[in-house]
Structure formats: structure tokens, C-alpha cells
Structure 1
């Protein structure tokens, strides 16, 4: 079993404070345990390129000792694998560049990778950048060389109409173009994702954690979350928003509600638990 070390409750339950990172209240390690006895066998220090590791996913093929961990603040996907001597190593597989921004709390904005998954056939890896607002699809048939095959914008802090502006390397300001779905302006940024078993439908919600939602996307507290469906080209790669699917949690009887995890009744791409 491999576990991550994303943060101390006394830090993350109050919202994000950059000082807490300096104070060591957020993690950068993976812990390798023998199972089921629970003995700690190895600690992997991911360093500054692995700050705040969250979700861990192994390839679904049980013969392959390869997995990935999404590191939120570093905005990296780190690949780990078992070596011939039985120990584990790691390296950065994908890195999302922080963007220079105007009218925000910091001069640069990380993507903030908050969730990811691997398709059941181990061909594609998907992850969400909660702050930037995009979902990415990578071909990982060669796990050592991920290839970007799809990217779609469904929210984010520097979308068109926002006071926040991103700045390109050549100094030109720009904002992402985020469409409406069934007449609804998309709120917040993409967060939890879930893929259908055939790999053709990617579902996405937009609530991370209520204290963080209120801090970065206060409109979620006022209007609640929504769920979208992304249609996936599972052969060649590519994604598109399904214009006919929109679940609005503002209208819940006890709402507005904040939507997070999604699960299939019999097992899904993220749990690997089958009934």
C-alpha cells in the first residue's frame, strides 16, 4: 500500500494559507507499507516538485508496479514504480506551468491538480486543474512519456469576464473562453472527475472543500455546485462538453449544495473495488 501526505487538518480545514506550507503543515512524501501487516517499508521524499500529494492511482494492470500521484500545489503528476531490488523510485511525469497573473493574491497561479484518474484500459490519464480551470487528457501507453491528447476549459479563475488576467510569456494578457451549458454560466473550476467504464464519458464536479471553495470561488457557496459530462474520444483522444447534460445543485431541496465524489454502484475507474 502507498499513501500520500497532503496536509494537517488544522491547516487545510481553515482554507489555504501559504505560510502553512513554509511551516511544514503540508506534505511532500509518499509512504510505502507492506500489506496487510502495515509495516512502513520506505518513505519517498518528492521535494518541492511534489508539494501536497493528494490522489494516488496505480495502473489497472496488476502485473505492472507503476502508479501516479497528483501533487496539488506543485501542479505535477509524479510517476512511481518498483525497482528490481524491491524498492520504489519516483520522477515527475507531467508538470503544469504556473501562470503569471494580474489582480490575484499571488503574482503566479498554480494549476492546482486536485483529482485524476486512469482509464480502465490504462491508455489515458485525466486530471483537473482547479484554479486554472482546465481538464487534461494524456495518452500513457508509454507511462514514461505521457502525451497530451486533449484539453478543455470548464471554469477557472481567469476565465473571460473575470477580474483576474493571466499573462503569457511574451507579456500579452489573456483569459480562457468557457462556454455556457444549457444557459448556465459555469461556476468554479473542475475538481473531482469520474470516467465511465467504457472510457467515453467523463463526469466532473467543482467543489474541492468548503473552506477552500469559499476562499477561491465564493459563488459556489451562494449558488452551489454543478456536474458536467465531457464526451471523450477514447480511440484517438480529445474531449468536448456535452451540451445536453447539466446537473445543478443550486436547486437541491436543502441547497445550494456542494458536489464532490462520484461513484458507480458496481465499481469504477478510481476505486478499483468491484462488487
Structure 2
């Protein structure tokens, strides 16, 4: 009798789960979520294929250091990374003296106050400091960029769909607008007839409305000289800085993957032990 009641309770529980799943699927089909503004135009990002991809992905620290070099020499003049500290660079393979040297030699110093006069001043960066913004404030940033505000890059990978691939595709996607064709051979402006061009903007088929204020940051091979001797092509630099920004957005990725693997192993062992306990408890019961 007890077994029948337990069976009915379990059956009811399963029925509730199935009903909930089916209703959720039907609701998603009938009322799909609205697409974001980023889907109005643009091509889908091209896959960059990083070592960190997948459930067992790990950081390629040599690539992260190259990406940091690209950020430092190309991107840092306009874009801040206000959520990243210099000492965080130890996670990508730099040692403590190297981090201290990077902080001290950073071209932008930390804002400070002269203790004697109370006037605004600056001081050398410390490893505990976060990357300073290249501009004093938003007004200065817009004034230097034709009224466009360069976004902070700390969490940019998380702020965009397919963030890592999006950044890679965007950096390598600048094209002359006239006659440009996508991967299917279709002229882009015929595929998106509502697209409009604006003087002073740059055509990029991976950007939301095809026109972006940022000029091409990576313009030629050898723009950065890698310390490890890697050939600095535009494609390589774009991949490396995209990998670095992926790390800045999720520095705990390796620990998260390890914790997930440990959780799966724990669940597998628990299921095995639970099945063994079930067989032992009901071993003497006749069917």
C-alpha cells in the first residue's frame, strides 16, 4: 500500500513538471521574446574560437598577455576599464614586479588632490589601483570623440550578444560601404533597405545599425610588436584583444568550470549511492 501511494505521489510530481515544461514551451512559441535593437540590422558575428570556449575551456595566458598589449597600445587611449585593477593582471601570467612596473609606467595617472593647496593633481598608479580613464569626465570624452562616448570595456563581452565573437567581428569588419556584399553574396544595402549612412560615421556590417562612430582601431599588420614574436596581423590582434576582454568580463571562468565539473561528479556519485541504498532497502521485498 505504501509503495502504491509513493508511486502515485511521484507520478503526480512528474505530471506537474511535464505540464509546466509543455506550457513554457508553448508560451515561448506563441509569444517569442522581442528582439533587441542590436538585431535590427547587422550580420551575425563570426566565431573566433578561443581556448576558453566550451565546458572545459581554459585561458591561453600567452594570448591574454598579447591582448592586454593591444588594449594598452591601441584601445586605452579612448576606452576605460574601470572595473579591472592592475594587480588583476597577475591572473594572466604577470608577476608582482611586472605588475608594479606596468602600473607605474601607465600613460594615464590616478587623479588626486594636492594636500597643501587642495588643487586637483595626479599621482603614479599603484598595483591596487584600477585602470584610470583616459578622460577627466564624460564631457571631455565626448569633446574628444565628435560627441560619441567611448564605452568602458570591462564588461563589454557580457553587454553584447555573442560578446567575444562580436568584438572580434566588429574589429575586423570595417568595409567600404559601396557595393559591399555579405557571406551569401547579397549586397548589404539591398538586404537592409532601411539602412542609412551618416557623414562622419564608419560602415561596419557587424554593428547594430551598420554605422559606428569609432574609426577602425586596427588598421595594419605590425601595428603592435608582440614581445613573444607572434605575427601581429589585424586578425591576430583582434582575436587577442577579444580574448583579453573575455577574461576581464569573466576572470573566474576556470574556477567556474572546475566547480561545475566537481558538481557533476558529485551528483553522479550521489546517484550511484542512492541507487545502491534503494537496492539494499528493498532487497528483501518480494515483487
Please report the TM-score for the alignment, with normalisation by the length of structure 2: 0.22
Larger radius of gyration: 2
Greater helix fraction, Structure 1 or Structure 2: 2
